[in-house]
Amino acid sequence: MALVVQKYGGTSVADVERIRSVARRVVARKEAGDQLVVVLSARAGDTDRLLALGREMSPNPDPRELDVLISTGEQITVALFSMAVKDLGAEAVSMTGTQAGILTDHHHGEARINSIATLPLKQKIDEGKIVVVAGFQGSDNEGNITTLGRGGSDTTAVGLAAALGAEVCEIYTDVEGVYTTDPNIYDKARKLDKISYEEMLEMASMGAKVLHLRSVEFGMKYNVPILVCSSFTDASGTLVLQEDEEMERVMVSGITYNRNEARITLTNVPDIPGMAAKLFHPISEAGINVDLIVQGSGSIPGRANLSFTVPKPHYEETMEIAKRVAGEIDAGVHSNPNIAKISVIGVGMRSHSGVASKMFDILASQNINLKMISTSEIKISCIIDEKFAELAVRLLHDAFELDKAPGERVVIAEES
Amino acid sequence: MALVVQKYGGTSVADVERIRSVARRVVARKEAGDQLVVVLSARAGDTDRLLALGREMSPNPDPRELDVLISTGEQITVALFSMAVKDLGAEAVSMTGTQAGILTDHHHGEARINSIATLPLKQKIDEGKIVVVAGFQGSDNEGNITTLGRGGSDTTAVGLAAALGAEVCEIYTDVEGVYTTDPNIYDKARKLDKISYEEMLEMASMGAKVLHLRSVEFGMKYNVPILVCSSFTDASGTLVLQEDEEMERVMVSGITYNRNEARITLTNVPDIPGMAAKLFHPISEAGINVDLIVQGSGSIPGRANLSFTVPKPHYEETMEIAKRVAGEIDAGVHSNPNIAKISVIGVGMRSHSGVASKMFDILASQNINLKMISTSEIKISCIIDEKFAELAVRLLHDAFELDKAPGERVVIAEES
């Protein structure tokens, strides 16, 4: 008998028929002998509707009250789901985030889980009940309702799995798992059987929005295996877990792309201390997240070129700041909002060299110009013209033979 | 500086524009120097929509989970309202029933308030905040969410007023107060300036659904003055409070009617102990509330006739029980679902005789036949043919001169 935490997203509980279908799946699993904690999101669209209602009420809704408002979305699904489970003859009990003992910090709308008081939950599990917990929410130490931000139900699920010592945290969603690349771009994309937490973090942060970033961090910190799978099929899904030797033998696990960034370059920046801070401090103050930063030498001695990328929605605002700072330090500014970031990810890069050069070769062979390059231990990212994004993904996917199972690949790289 | 509890019903907070309008009213009152606790219902229709959703999910929704579901209705309004108050520059904080310390028994859907832990609420009042409490809900001593039944927000408000020692509990609704009779039936109906708790209880239970019955009992028990008034006008409303000498001088305060009952009569019931129990026990077991019961002698010596009324929706079910019992005890059954109950109410009846005979005279003068009569200390009820209901109300209203202020009436009755 294993203790399993399952999480179902908004599309899986979008209406009573789907809720009933998920309930049948859960009850069958329970009858097969497992203990179950089920974490649910709000019905698809509900959170957006509640947010819209809040904005209709107030141009700038109070964050505390916005959390009180939007947390009702999950409260509705857990109640409905528990009714459905009971109609199937099993015992169920719903819990709001507060009732489930999920204690967070005070940051309304983006709260972090500090601790989980599992006693009430454990009691109900021991009574043989399927415990149905509202995802995405908790309360702070003064009893105020908080929410964990978009995708926060994943974090609720992994957090509960960690706190309860569950065998696995299963995240049911509308995709069948994590793919080598976006199947919508390339039909040769292959579902991964497993992937390490670190690779998943790179995948998630690059736009493969399968799991909430923080849930993966949680999983990694507490070593909770996370199974990503579809609630609409019985396919096996992708297991996210600690890196093992087998993974290390694989050079590349996936290719991601992101077309939602814009590049800004300051040319001929005086190459003296404090210049970067002068630029990035006001950008950060404006709440804008800079992604890549690359600095190279400029065309004038003692001057450097500084390129960086920001999310497209913040492009105009960032340009205004960049132009102001450039004027102050006598630098030039140019920009390109039509870029794409292509990344190759794999923990195997740690022990294999040659991945970067292979990537550059392949892109060069099709005359795809690299505008920026950034590397980490397990990831290489290149900024290219947006129009080449799909082409680059397909080329790299083919070159690294990601359509084949890892053991069948013959891609040559050097073992370092 | 007075502490005031205000309650606004569903039509008063039906949309963001009305919520904003009520918020302006509340903030103005706060700025005038009062401390305010505001209790809100769900937006008009929301509770029904949530109940329908629950019934869509399950043919017989689990009562615990139904409470989790429908309590979201008020959570939404308190969040929106608090946003609106803050936008007006005042401090506000929303509280669910649980957060407001409203502790109830375990009866989901029809819970009773056992106690209110007012400390968290008092702290927020002392901080100068307008405290906005979700009506209709609380939690039991195991932390399960409970609801108080239809109209339960009134009880939340009066309960909080009692627990906090508020000066008055103001119930804002879509009518301007309590009337001598239903203004929709008779345009001469006059708004009462004040009415005693007991009269109000009789009015409410007779179908003048202005206040939740239990809220009046609460007000009477803890002596909380309740002001019923409109949230759409500045009219003065009706104050419900302890009976005083002035009220006692008034013979009749109001006329009510109820067309939602059916009458069933068992004829020639053996006049021996236990017969009534034999009939009413199974009816009560079926969860059916019997209203009037009248027993008179039957046409056969040693046999009696037993008439009673039940709510129309339970008519068929009750008839089945009545027929079964009648068969067992060799009695006859006849029934009439087309009846109306007309009641004359007034604490002054205690000290004035002649009200009943005047009522009978007036109805007889128009050939309205009395099918049942039932009297209490402050109320006389007659069952008549449904088709005469409006006529009877108008006749009695005129005869007792209820369109005139109490001091201007010349109705003759004897002081006992």
Min Cα–Cα distance to chain B from A79, Å: 5
Question: pLDDT tens, A97-155?
Answer: 999 999 999 999 999 999 999 999 999 999 999 999 999 999 999 999 999 998 899 99
- Which 67-126 residues of chain A touch chain B by CB within 8 A? 68-69, 71-72, 75-76, 78-80, 82-84, 86-87, 93-94, 96, 98-99, 120
CA distance B5 to chain A (A): 21
3-state helix, strand, coil in chain A (%, to 5): 40, 25, 35
Residue A244 in contact with partner chain B when CB distance is under 8 A: no
Closest CA to A34 of A131, A144, A156, A139: A131
> DSSP string covering B299-310, please?
SSTTEEEEEEEE
Range of lowest pLDDT (B27-31, B159-163, B379-383): B379-383
Contact A65 B79 (CB under 8 A): yes
> Cβ–Cβ of A80/B94 closer than 8 Å?
no
Q: Which of A65, A81, A95 to mutate to test the interface with B (most CBs of B within 10 A)?
A: A65
Q: Using the beta-carbon criterion (under 8 Å), do A83 and B65 form an inter-chain contact?
A: yes
Instruction: Tell whether the model's pLDDT for residue B413 goes beyond 60.
Output: no
> CB–CB of A292/A280 below 8 Å?
no
Tokens found for residue A367:
């005359």
Q: Is B244 on the interface with A (CB under 8 A)?
A: no
Over the stretch A309-359, which tens digit does the pLDDT of each residue have? 999 999 999 999 999 999 999 999 999 999 999 999 998 888 777 888 889
A139 touches chain B (CB under 8 A): no
pLDDT score, position B395 = 95
Cα–Cα distance measured from residue B42 to residue A104, given in angstroms and rounded to the nearest whole number: 28
The least confident of A293-297, B107-111, B251-255 is A293-297
Q: d(Cα B112, Cα A392) in Å, to the nearest integer?
A: 66
Q: Across residues B126-133, what is the average pLDDT?
A: 97
C-alpha closest to that of B173 among B118, B119, B210: B210
Partners of B54 on chain A (C-beta within 8 Å) are 79-80, 83
Which pair of structure tokens corresponds to residue A415? 């073992």
Mean pLDDT rounded to a whole number for chain B? 91
Which contiguous run of DSSP H or E holds residue A21? helix A16-31
Residue with token string 């963001």? B16
Residue A262, both tokens: 């814009």
Nearest CA in chain A to B139: A99
Say if CB B292 and CB B351 are below 8 A apart: no
Q: Which tens digits make up the pLDDT trace of B324-370?
A: 999 999 999 999 999 999 999 998 888 777 888 889 999 999 999 98
The yes-or-no verdict on residue A407 having pLDDT over 80 is no
| First-to-last C-alpha distance (Å) of chain B | 44
- Helix, strand, or coil (residue B336): strand
Instruction: Give the distance from residue B50's alpha carbon to the nearest chain A alpha carbon, in angstroms.
Output: 9
Per-residue pLDDT averaged across B260-269, rounded? 92
Picking from B16, B38, B55, B69 by the largest number of A CB atoms within 10 A of its own CB, the best residue to mutate is B69
Whether ipTM > 0.85 holds is no
Query: Which is nearest to B8 in space by CA: B195, B213, B170?
Result: B170
Residue A357 CB contacts under 8 Å (≥ 6 apart), including other chains: none
d(CA B194, CA B240): 6
- What average pLDDT does the segment B248-273 reach? 89
Query: Is A50's CB within 8 Å of B76's CB?
Result: yes
pLDDT-derived band of residue A173, with 50, 70 and 90 as boundaries? confident
Q: What is the pLDDT of residue B1?
A: 78
Answer for the pair B192, B253: CB distance below 8 angstroms, yes or no: yes
Residues A136 and A152: beta-carbon distance below 8 Å? yes
C-alpha A114/C-alpha A112 separation (Å) is 6
The predicted structure's pLDDT at residue B377? 86
> For residue B209, is pLDDT > 90?
no
At B44-63, the pLDDT tens digits run 999 999 999 999 999 999 99
CB A16 within 8 A of CB A24: no
How many C-beta neighbours within 10 Å does residue A17 have?
9
- Asked if B65 reaches chain A (Cβ–Cβ under 8 Å), the answer is yes
Residues facing residue A415 across a β-bridge: A352
Q: Determine which of A83-87, A371-375, A392-396, B397-401 has the lowest per-residue pLDDT on average.
A: A371-375
Provide the H-helix boundaries in B302-380: 315-329, 355-365
The answer to whether residue B410 scores a pLDDT higher than 90 is no
The model's pLDDT over B175-193, given as tens digits with 9 standing for 90+, comes to 888 999 988 889 999 999 9
A16 to B87: CB separation less than 8 angstroms, yes or no: no
CA nearest to A206, candidates A413, A411, A10, A389: A389
For residues A8 and A174, the answer to whether their CB atoms sit within 8 Å is: no
CB contact B16 to A (< 8 Å):
yes
CA dihedral B377, B380, B381, B384 (to 10 degrees): 160
- Extract the tokens encoding B9: 């019903």
Task: Give the residue from A28, A50, A32 showing the smallest Cα distance to A41.
Answer: A50
pLDDT score recorded for residue B414: 54
Please give the average per-residue pLDDT across B301-313, as a whole number.
90
pLDDT confidence of residue A413: 54
Whether B137 has a pLDDT exceeding 70, the answer reads: yes
Average pLDDT over every residue of B184-213: 84
Interface contact flag, A65 B80, Cβ < 8 Å: yes
Q: What angle do CA A15, A21, A24 make, to 5 degrees?
A: 140
pLDDT at A415 over 60: no
Question: Residue B206: which pLDDT band, with cuts at 50, 70 and 90?
Answer: low
How confident is the model at residue A205, as a pLDDT?
Answer: 64
